[in-house]
């Protein structure tokens, strides 16, 4: 390519055009910033310094001077809601919606924020009504997620299934695991009410959405047991190991009781010992401990717990070892060892917790839905101390 002299002449021209454009942008920015009320910057400064109360006072003054500013109403309403003053937040967003000249974009935004106000205030029926008005709008997906939350709070599982399916079809992400859990909730209710056939149908739908649903498989075994078919129940519970070996601890007592019921307790304890060798668990050890003590005696129990403690050293395991040792210790040593056992046991009770992997909420019992953050399947089926040892 040959060099042309006019290229050199073009350089200052382009430079000059860029300088003019920059000056125009800067002048426009300065002009717009001067047109903003001083209270706006004052309120913004309070927000940056984490002083929401003073920020609210500053924004209230601006709204009084310029009631037409929708953006400031939204900021004010959100601040009220975050501070827990839901009644004031509701009034702010209701006043916005009452304005006949409000642009459609702002009207939809106000409707969504009003729904969030009602949700925060616990007025679920009003929140549901607000979110339904947003169907098909740009806030449709957010409103759908809020409706799903409402239906779960109210335990309206059929409506939760419908809301989750709608969200899934809209491209807002897969909801198969949640839908399976909703069917499990319905099945559990039917089982409690003495309707195993209906429960079976619901569990088939749960597994149709999530074939690896451990909860659905466990409940399937419970349904077979309610119908008097212990062998079918055992077959279902054994499938848990194929889905998640860690969750076997949750079904261990069911398995042991089932094998006792069909007259094959040694087969049951051997199966559970094989699970324990594959995936150590203090809850599984508890079930095996009692079964071995019943079937094979104190010596076998001591051997079991000693081997398990060497493999996975935990205070929870030590507690079980001391319990086993107390059964065979000499009478003169029983009193002293009991003191040690009680001290260790008292401390291990603080460690014997399940912990949500999302919000960290701890609980004595295992939950499929976290009581803290309401998320599904966030509890690992192991106690906190075991998780710490593994990490």
Per the model's pLDDT, the better-predicted residue between 375 and 60 turns out to be 375
Give yes or no for residue 42 having a pLDDT over 60.
no
Per the model's pLDDT, the better-predicted residue between 358 and 316 turns out to be 358
pLDDT (mean) for 295-319: 77
- CA dihedral defined by 143, 148, 150, 156, rounded to 10 degrees? 140
Concatenating the DSSP letter of every residue in 125-178 gives: HHHHHHHHTTTTSTTHHHHHHHHHHHHHHTT-HHHHHHHHHHHHHTTS---HHH
pTM: 0.76
* Residue 50 confidence class, pLDDT cut points 50, 70, 90: low
pLDDT (mean) for 154-177: 90
* Residue 24 confidence class, pLDDT cut points 50, 70, 90: very low
Nearest Cα to Cα of residue 182 among 212, 211, 215: 215
Give yes or no for residue 384 having a pLDDT over 50.
yes
Q: How far is CA 1 from the centre of its chain?
A: 64
Strand partners, 363: 354
Sign of CA dihedral 85, 90, 93, 99: negative
pLDDT for res 329: 62
Please give the helix or strand (H or E) that residue 17 lies within, else none: helix 6-35
Q: Which of 85-99, 172-186, 306-320 is most confident?
A: 172-186
Give yes or no for residue 286 having a pLDDT over 70.
yes
Per the model's pLDDT, the better-predicted residue between 232 and 57 turns out to be 232
Are 327 and 301 in contact, with CB atoms under 8 Å apart?
Answer: yes
pLDDT for res 325: 65
Residues 6+ apart with CB under 8 A from 383: 282, 283, 316, 351, 352, 353, 354
Are 353 and 383 in contact, with CB atoms under 8 Å apart?
Answer: yes
373 annotated to bind ligand: yes
Query: pLDDT averaged over the chain?
Result: 79
Nearest Cα to Cα of residue 306 among 291, 318, 293: 318
Please give the helix or strand (H or E) that residue 209 lies within, else none: helix 196-209
pLDDT for res 268: 95
pLDDT for res 168: 87
Nearest Cα to Cα of residue 257 among 290, 298, 283: 290
Please give the helix or strand (H or E) that residue 35 lies within, else none: helix 6-35
* Residue 230 confidence class, pLDDT cut points 50, 70, 90: very high
Q: If you ran DSSP here, which 8-state letter would residue 40 be given?
A: H
Task: Tell me what percent of the chain is helix, strand and coil, each rounded to the nearest 5.
Answer: 75, 0, 25
pLDDT for res 25: 45
* Residue 68 confidence class, pLDDT cut points 50, 70, 90: low
Per the model's pLDDT, the better-predicted residue between 214 and 25 turns out to be 214
- Tell me the pLDDT tens digit for each residue of 309-354: 777 776 666 666 666 666 666 565 666 666 666 666 665 666 678 8
* Alpha carbon distance, N-terminus to C-terminus of the chain: 63
* Residue 51 confidence class, pLDDT cut points 50, 70, 90: low
Q: How would you class 11 by CB atoms within 10 Å of its CB: exposed for 0-12, middle for 13-18, buried for 19 or more? A: exposed
Q: Which of 33-42, 120-129, 315-324, 326-335 is most confident?
A: 120-129
184 annotated to bind ligand: no
pLDDT for res 126: 94
Q: How far is CA 158 from the centre of its chain?
A: 20
pLDDT (mean) for 229-252: 94
* Residue 275 confidence class, pLDDT cut points 50, 70, 90: very high
């Amino acid at each position: 390519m040959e060099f042309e002299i006019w290229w050199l002449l073009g350089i200052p021209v382009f430079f000059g055009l860029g300088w003019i454009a920059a000056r125009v942008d800067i002048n426009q920015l300065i002009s717009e910033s001067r047109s903003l009320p001083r209270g706006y910057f004052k309120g913004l400064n309070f927000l940056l310094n984490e002083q929401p109360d003073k920020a609210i006072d500053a924004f209230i003054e601006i709204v009084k001077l310029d009631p037409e500013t929708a953006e400031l109403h939204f900021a004010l309403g959100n601040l009220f809601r975050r501070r827990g003053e839901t009644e004031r937040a509701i009034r702010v967003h209701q006043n916005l919606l009452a304005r006949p000249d409000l642009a459609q974009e702002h009207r939809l935004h106000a409707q969504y924020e009003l729904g969030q106000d009602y949700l925060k205030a616990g007025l679920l029926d009003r929140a549901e009504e607000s979110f339904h008005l947003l169907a098909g709008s740009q806030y449709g997906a957010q409103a759908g997620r809020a409706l799903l939350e409402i239906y779960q709070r109210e335990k309206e599982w059929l409506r939760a299934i419908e809301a989750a399916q709608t969200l899934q079809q809209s491209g807002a992400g897969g909801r198969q695991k949640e839908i399976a859990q909703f069917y499990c909730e319905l099945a559990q209710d039917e089982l409690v009410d003495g309707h195993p056939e209906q429960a079976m149908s619901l569990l088939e739908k749960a597994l149709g959405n999530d074939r690896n649903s451990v909860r659905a498989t466990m409940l399937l075994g419970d349904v077979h047991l309610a119908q008097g078919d212990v062998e079918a129940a055992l077959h279902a519970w054994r499938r848990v190991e194929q889905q998640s070996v860690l969750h076997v601890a949750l079904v261990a007592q069911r398995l042991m009781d089932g094998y006792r019921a069909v007259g094959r307790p040694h087969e049951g304890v051997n199966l559970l010992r094989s699970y324990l060798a594959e995936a150590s668990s203090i809850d599984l050890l508890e079930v095996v401990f009692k079964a071995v003590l019943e079937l094979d005696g104190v010596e076998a129990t001591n051997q079991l717990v000693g081997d398990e403690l060497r493999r996975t050293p935990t205070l929870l395991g030590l507690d079980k070892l001391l319990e086993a040792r107390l059964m065979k210790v000499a009478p003169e040593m029983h009193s002293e060892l009991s003191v040690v056992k009680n001290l260790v046991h008292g401390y291990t009770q603080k460690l014997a917790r399940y912990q949500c992997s999302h919000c960290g909420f701890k609980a004595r019992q295992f939950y499929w839905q976290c009581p803290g953050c309401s998320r599904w399947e966030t509890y690992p089926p192991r106690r906190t101390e075991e998780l710490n040892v593994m990490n």
